[in-house]
Structure 1
């Protein structure tokens, strides 16, 4: 008898053109992250009207804002190991259902305490969705286009947030602030049937985790990826040795991964710290430096817009260069732009240019960190590695609120604030550069070593 035909999943995905099924996965993951962005930014849209309607101070809304960020960090830490054990698809579906249902419930919150609790719970789903969507895209896209497509999908977050802004501008004056929570809750729930029917499980996970148990499901996916190779009796494989540590958390903290994991965490913590601090406090800082409210808002919008452009261009660039050195340079240039904001005069054009440059570098580099993490960890621990980077980095976004309030409360000068903010960018640049010298254990992630 002849030997069973063998199909190497990594070789199949990396060497063939993208199929309609793969593009469908990219589109569905973009949809998930856009819905995530809409709901994650929703409190910022409704806060002024909520404060007026409930007769509470804007300061009292601080716990509501923080609750969502705390939930996101916890959700990412929980969802990664879960996705590595039970699969990417069920965790992604449950995350969307969870943040949709909790956002919908928030529309019926009777008071601020209930709103804090519901936003904390919604944050669990929001934190689980983005890293798992990024992981799914990384496992269905060819190596030479992977970083670009991951960052394109992640740009869905700013797309969703922007869509929420436009929707709020129209609906709140007509239907009230609760209507935005209803929309933000219903849209994810309406998307669930599409996600359940059209989103496959990760083929790499099926083959790497339990190939014999999942053989029938894997064969159906191969039928769509490569009909010419489809064979119900084919032997499927991936270019990874079996995991030597049973726990995904233990694996990302095991010898060979430990140093790289810590450097990924440090880089992303510093990156999110800066992005959230500038996104939250830049309008106040610019306004206090003598500019109008509208100019301050526009400059902050350019900071976000620069990040969207940076995500797309840098994703393309790191597919074609040494990603660690490229991101190190980008973080350092972002730190320089931030420092120069503090030395700039009152001219609107210069502030706008520097803010856009800072957003391009910091937001763009942060988006590329998902690709860097996905290409560092093996399939058995990839969702955990990406999600824990997001969760630990999320602590930086939480810390940014306290740091911004402290700097303003302490009376720091405009120049001093931005000089201090250049330091985290410097740390991020050094950390990601050092990460480039860290390799995973031999045989565990061989296909991905092409990026290092």
Structure 2
């Protein structure tokens, strides 16, 4: 009777594992596209509605952006947590459907309240997608290079943001803002068959969570991997508790959970201050408008290389030490910003800041996946990201207040270098217990 599971702990990257990781990367690219599409189209929407006698105040647009971020936080905390109950694949499929339908339906939205509603619902899918793909990747990647592959999948997000910006520059002037939402929405919906037919459920989840039909589904995956099927699932070494938020605060995890949430809150606050204010800050330094527009693109390109580099270095030097180095380096670069103005070198600096801040905070997805066992892993990653996204709401607001009361550029960047520095220091103090 065969009851051992030879592939439960992956040691190499088989075809099935690679295809799972690449699909997760694709979904995060679409996440980046669906998040940024509202930023690229907002001026055209406001202009068209103003001409139709429905003026949109800047504060209303700010609410639209904030509601989307709120949806992402709630999606990460509550929807992604259901992946511990129903499986990673089902929640990824649901998240993609929510994203695609809501982005596509924006074409027909006639008012700001309805725009806020569709952005909130799409945010639920986006937030859940990020957490669920990080969890599934962590469970399929080889142990030796797990940190790299989780970071690689998260790097899809800034790539999607860059590609959507390039698409928006061509589509909106010629075809209008609605065409951009049609493009983004249909592209996302077209991935549903890919997820349904080609994305595999986690072996860890099937074996340890034991959903209905677990043995049959496990054997189907084993056959795809060229392994012998099982006659029975292997016995569990411990009794698996039901997934719940309380599981994140057991005595051996409570301190690490709170420190991880603090790190993500501080990192998200700095990241979203930079994301929302970089074009305006770049223009105010004396940089030409064209170069100021490119600042956001350079920031996201730097982010991609930073995320991938962080994953590569973490596999060799240790995850927490590398995250700490990236975030402390980012803090130093932000202090340096005050001494560079009005030159192309600012673009280089923006790229390096994107490299450091995104590389550092994305490493925390890997840290969260390591911290929690299988039965509560999606819940743990989701709630950590959700707590971080509260910082994403707070950061731009605080930045706007500081700019409004007349703080200089250098003072603003020094102020937001502090949370990046603290996040780096707290990371190395976070004890990661054995998740079993």
**Do both proteins adopt the same fold according to a TM-score greater than 0.5, normalized to the shorter chain?**
yes
Residues 171/235 of structure 1: CA separation in 2 closer, same or farther (3 Å cut): same
Which of 325, 328, 336 is matched with 1:329 structurally? 325
Is the contact made by 1:259 and 1:438 (CA closer than 8 Å) also made in structure 2? no
Residues 134/247 of structure 1: CA separation in 2 closer, same or farther (3 Å cut): closer
Which of 3, 6, 24 is matched with 2:4 structurally? 6
Is the contact made by 2:100 and 2:189 (CA closer than 8 Å) also made in structure 1? yes
Residues 194/211 of structure 1: CA separation in 2 closer, same or farther (3 Å cut): closer
1:4 to partner: Cα distance: 3.7
**What's the secondary structure of 1:412's corresponding residue?**
coil
Is the contact made by 1:252 and 1:385 (CA closer than 8 Å) also made in structure 2? yes
1:174 to partner: Cα distance: 2.1
**What's the secondary structure of 2:407's corresponding residue?**
coil
Residue 267 of structure 2 is matched in structure 1 by 271
**What's the secondary structure of 1:320's corresponding residue?**
helix
1:246 to partner: Cα distance: 2.6
Is the contact made by 2:4 and 2:230 (CA closer than 8 Å) also made in structure 1? no
Check if 1:354 corresponds to 2:349: yes
Residue 396 of structure 2 is matched in structure 1 by 401
Residue 89 of structure 1 is matched in structure 2 by 89
Is the contact made by 1:28 and 1:195 (CA closer than 8 Å) also made in structure 2? yes
1:288 to partner: Cα distance: 2.1
**Aligned residue runs from structure 1 range 183-262, under 5 A:** 183-210=183-210, 213-225=213-225, 227=226, 229-233=227-231, 235-236=233-234, 241-243=238-240, 245-262=241-258
Instruction: Give the alignment's TM-score, normalised by structure 2.
Output: 0.94
Residue 126 of structure 2 is matched in structure 1 by 126
How far apart in 2 are the matches of 1:181 and 1:283? 23
1:250-278 deviation digits (Å, cap 9, x = unpaired): 11121111111111111111111111101
**What's the secondary structure of 1:72's corresponding residue?**
helix
**What's the secondary structure of 1:233's corresponding residue?**
coil
Residue 368 of structure 1 is matched in structure 2 by 363
Check if 1:289 corresponds to 2:285: yes
Residues 247/204 of structure 1: CA separation in 2 closer, same or farther (3 Å cut): closer
How far apart in 2 are the matches of 1:23 and 1:338? 37
**What's the secondary structure of 2:316's corresponding residue?**
coil
Q: CA RMSD for the aligned pairs?
A: 1.8
Is the contact made by 1:8 and 1:237 (CA closer than 8 Å) also made in structure 2? no
Residue 341 of structure 1 is matched in structure 2 by 337
How far apart in 2 are the matches of 1:170 and 1:212? 48
Check if 1:416 corresponds to 2:411: yes
1:107 to partner: Cα distance: 1.0
How far apart in 1 are the matches of 2:212 and 2:194? 28
1:161-184 deviation digits (Å, cap 9, x = unpaired): 222112212221222101111122
Residues 212/241 of structure 1: CA separation in 2 closer, same or farther (3 Å cut): farther
How far apart in 2 are the matches of 1:211 and 1:402? 43
**Aligned residue runs from structure 1 range 6-25, under 5 A:** 6-11=4-9, 13=10, 15=11, 17-25=12-20
**What's the secondary structure of 1:319's corresponding residue?**
helix
Gaps of 5+ in 1: 446-452
How far apart in 2 are the matches of 1:61 and 1:365? 30
Residues 350/188 of structure 1: CA separation in 2 closer, same or farther (3 Å cut): closer
1:218 to partner: Cα distance: 0.4
Check if 1:54 corresponds to 2:54: no
Greater Cα offset, 284-293 or 86-95: 284-293
Check if 1:32 corresponds to 2:30: no
Residues 212/6 of structure 1: CA separation in 2 closer, same or farther (3 Å cut): farther
How far apart in 2 are the matches of 1:6 and 1:189? 38
Query: How many pairs does the alignment contain?
Result: 431
Residue 112 of structure 2 is matched in structure 1 by 112
Is the contact made by 2:295 and 2:350 (CA closer than 8 Å) also made in structure 1? yes
Is the contact made by 1:370 and 1:386 (CA closer than 8 Å) also made in structure 2? yes
How far apart in 1 are the matches of 2:427 and 2:361? 11
Instruction: Give the alignment's TM-score, normalised by structure 1.
Output: 0.91
Residue 53 of structure 2 is matched in structure 1 by none
How far apart in 1 are the matches of 2:34 and 2:235? 39
Residue 448 of structure 1 is matched in structure 2 by none
How far apart in 2 are the matches of 1:305 and 1:149? 18
Residue 80 of structure 2 is matched in structure 1 by 80
**Aligned residue runs from structure 1 range 370-385, under 5 A:** 370-385=365-380
